[in-house]
């Protein structure tokens, strides 16, 4: 094994184009002028911009090198917990790029886009099958928007029963977007604690659930990577008081083909196609967060909906109880094509993808046991959570360790999340990494743990091999400089 086994794309150096430019150099050849110079008023020309003179190859290399500083899943393993940064097969890109899909205008009349409508109709059916829910809307553009659509559906349900409810129960292991979505919808999130095993107990829900409470938002598997094993019992308690169960299904990568969410008592659920169903994500690219519901909530789904009418697919707004539109047109169509392509190319292997995702996370958990403190020592789902508890004696923090991991060429895992674990290090390997890649990651993590004892200063000053060292992350977030 080489000393720094991961990717090396982050450590290249590259001057500014202005530093590379040489007067007279040009990126194109124009035939010599064969007519007289024509006088042109100077004042109309103004001052020419101060662009550097560069050849084509200078420019191509410059931007290609810069593009390699941007770590991506095509560059190396990306163990970012709660993000499912799996490899996105290129066949998805190819199909999404077919002109019939990529060039279709959203206002095409339905008889000219039967293929696109059929794809959406069938994808809804496939997602219903994977989740065990009855009906699906592909409109929400991201997970958090799927949550908001789900909350609006829950609100519409209570309203249809002349019931006004003001609160939603949200566990401390829910994704951070959950309380925000509930609040945007006008509900007051009521926090409930997970137990020492990291899951919810029916008793704690029974103590909070009342007829003022619209329901519960459960992330399952939760952000500790643990399956909420009492979900059915919790659902019974919530339903008994007239509430609904919302499941944040962004972590479906652990459960495809294994858990029927409908049967666990879930009423509304969202998926993240850009995670589980292999849409490229990160950097604010388009997402897709379909919202899935049980049968009697279908009437509230966003419109328009794709329906079959006399052998044709059409977009229908004829759903009087709908919550309305949540997205211009019908959602992030390109992401839908990728998800459809992924599901069809995987077929029954989707189940195996989930099994491998869970196996990989448990393998990492077992092999790093001892090197790092395990926050909850029990079998995990698709991600495992450690902390910096063992390293604190050497005054080394989670941040120091993951910065050092970058020197080894790996993208850091998710850190300081979930909030219930102090100094959390949350690792999600996904199913697409081979054992060899995962072993390299484990060796790098172990080397960092060793360095924390032998040379803590090295970690505190890491990264040492990257283009930039420790960034002021607060300033970067609060006053970003977006123009370079």
Ligand X SMILES: *Cc1c(COP(=O)(O)O)cnc(C)c1O
Q: Where do contacts with ligand X occur on this chain (CB under 6 A)?
A: 82, 142-144, 175, 177, 219, 248, 250-251, 272, 287, 289
| Residue 304 C-beta: closest distance to ligand X, Å | 22
Least Å distance, CB 70 to ligand X, is 19
The CB-of-333 to ligand X minimum distance in angstroms stands at 16
Of 251 and 397, CB closest to ligand X: 251
Q: Which is nearer to ligand X, 200 or 459 (CB)?
A: 200
Tell me the C-alpha distance between 186 and 300, whole Å.
18
Point out the residue whose Cβ comes nearest to ligand X: 143
How far apart are CB 127 and ligand X at their closest, in Å?
Answer: 15
241: nearest Cα among 316, 322, 158: 158
Nearest distance, CB of residue 415 and ligand X, angstroms: 15
Q: Which is nearer to ligand X, 167 or 175 (CB)?
A: 175
Nearer to ligand X, 216 or 448 (CB): 216
**Exposed / middle / buried, residue 140 (Cβ in 10 Å: 0-12, 13-18, 19+):** buried
CB 189 within 8 A of CB 179: yes
Q: Of 175 and 365, which has the nearer Cβ to ligand X?
A: 175
Shortest Cβ 389–ligand X spacing (Å): 24
> Would you say 143 or 235 has its CB closer to ligand X?
143
Q: How far is the CB of 241 from ligand X (least distance, A)?
A: 25
CB of 413 to ligand X, least distance (A): 14
N-term to C-term CA, the chain: 37
Question: CA triplet 157, 159, 161: central angle to 5 degrees?
Answer: 75
- Residue 203 burial (C-beta neighbours within 10 Å; 0-12, 13-18, 19+): exposed
To ligand X, the closest distance from the beta carbon of 248 in angstroms equals: 5
Q: Which is nearer to ligand X, 313 or 342 (CB)?
A: 342
* 169 vs 459 by CB, closer to ligand X: 169
Q: How far is the CB of 272 from ligand X (least distance, A)?
A: 5
Complex with ligand X: residue 204 or 332, whichever CB lies closer:
332
Complex with ligand X: residue 69 or 416, whichever CB lies closer: 416
């Amino acid at each position: 094994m080489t000393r720094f086994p991961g990717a090396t794309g982050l450590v290249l150096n590259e001057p500014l184009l202005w530093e590379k430019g040489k007067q007279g150099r040009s990126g194109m050849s124009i035939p010599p002028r064969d007519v007289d110079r024509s006088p042109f008023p100077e004042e109309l020309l103004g001052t020419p911009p101060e662009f550097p003179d560069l050849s084509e190859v200078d420019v191509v290399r410059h931007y290609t090198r810069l593009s390699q500083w941007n770590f991506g899943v095509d560059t190396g393993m990306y163990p970012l917990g709660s993000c499912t940064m799996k490899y996105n097969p290129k066949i998805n890109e190819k199909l999404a790029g077919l002109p019939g899909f990529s060039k279709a205008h959203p206002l095409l009349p339905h008889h000219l886009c039967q293929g696109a409508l059929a794809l959406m109709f069938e994808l809804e059916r496939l997602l219903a099958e994977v989740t065990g829910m009855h009906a699906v809307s592909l409109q929400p553009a991201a997970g958090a928007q799927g949550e908001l659509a789900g909350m609006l559906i829950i609100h519409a349900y209570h309203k249809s029963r002349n019931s006004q409810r003001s609160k939603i129960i949200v566990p401390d292991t829910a994704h951070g977007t959950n309380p925000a979505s509930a609040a945007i919808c006008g509900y007051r999130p009521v926090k409930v604690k997970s137990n020492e095993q990291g899951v919810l107990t029916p008793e704690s829900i029974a103590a909070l659930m009342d007829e003022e409470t619209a329901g519960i938002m459960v992330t399952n598997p939760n952000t500790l990577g643990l399956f909420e094993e009492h979900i059915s019992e919790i659902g019974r308690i919530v339903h008994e008081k007239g509430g609904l169960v919302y499941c944040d299904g962004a972590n479906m990568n652990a459960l495809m083909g294994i858990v029927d969410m409908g049967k666990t008592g879930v009423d509304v659920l969202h998926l993240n196609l850009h995670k589980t169903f292999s849409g490229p994500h990160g950097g604010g690219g388009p997402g897709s967060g379909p919202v899935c519901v049980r049968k009697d909530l279908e009437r509230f789904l966003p419109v328009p909906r794709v329906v079959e009418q006399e052998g044709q697919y059409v977009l229908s707004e004829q759903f009087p109880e709908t919550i309305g539109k949540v997205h211009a047109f019908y959602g992030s169509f390109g992401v839908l094509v990728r998800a459809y392509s992924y599901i069809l190319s995987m077929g029954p292997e989707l189940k195996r993808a989930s099994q491998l995702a869970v196996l990989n996370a448990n393998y990492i958990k077992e092999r790093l046991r001892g090197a790092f403190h395990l926050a909850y020592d029990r079998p995990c789902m698709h991600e495992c959570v450690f902390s910096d508890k063992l390293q604190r004696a050497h005054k080394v923090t989670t941040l120091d360790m993951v910065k050092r991991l970058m020197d080894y060429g790996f993208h850091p895992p998710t850190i300081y999340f979930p909030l219930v674990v102090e100094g959390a290090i949350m690792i999600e390997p996904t199913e697409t990494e081979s054992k060899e890649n995962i072993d390299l990651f484990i060796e790098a993590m172990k080397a960092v743990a060793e360095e924390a004892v032998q040379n803590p200063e090295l970690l505190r000053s890491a990264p040492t091999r990257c283009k930039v060292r420790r960034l002021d992350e607060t300033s970067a977030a609060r006053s970003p400089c977006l123009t370079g």
